[in-house]
Amino acid sequence: MRHAPGLFPALFRLKKQAANSFQSAFISSITGFVIISITILACASPNYSSAEFVFTDSINETGWPDGIGWLLGLLQAGLGLTGFDAVAHMIEEIPIQLLKVPRL
């Protein structure tokens, strides 16, 4: 246990570095989103679609009838939510979740 006194300050520095890297990753993600949004809006500038087209019209190029195409679109969102929900219910069954779940 000779190295134990130096272990805690090293872990504290590592935790601080991880927090800083998460913060910088968040800031870079938001910056990238803003830059991409501005670029897309600038490139489409004189040829905007009307609000009526954007919010009322639908273009179905799938080959399926309109109703089935709409349901297939909802299916993708439903499957995404199901994946997160299944994990949450599985974690409820693990004893001592606070210690064991982060290791998974």
CA distance linking residue 101 with residue 95, whole number of Å: 9
CA distance linking residue 72 with residue 54, whole number of Å: 20
Does pTM surpass 0.85? Answer: no
Residue 35 has a pLDDT of 94
Tokens of 66: 């309109």
Judge whether residue 18 has pLDDT over 80: no
Q: What is the pLDDT of residues 54-97, one digit of tens each?
A: 888 878 888 888 888 888 888 888 887 777 777 778 888 888 87
Banded pLDDT at 32 (limits 50, 70, 90): very high
Closest by Cα among 34, 14, 12 to 22? 14
CA distance linking residue 89 with residue 84, whole number of Å: 9
Encoded amino acid at 95, one letter: P
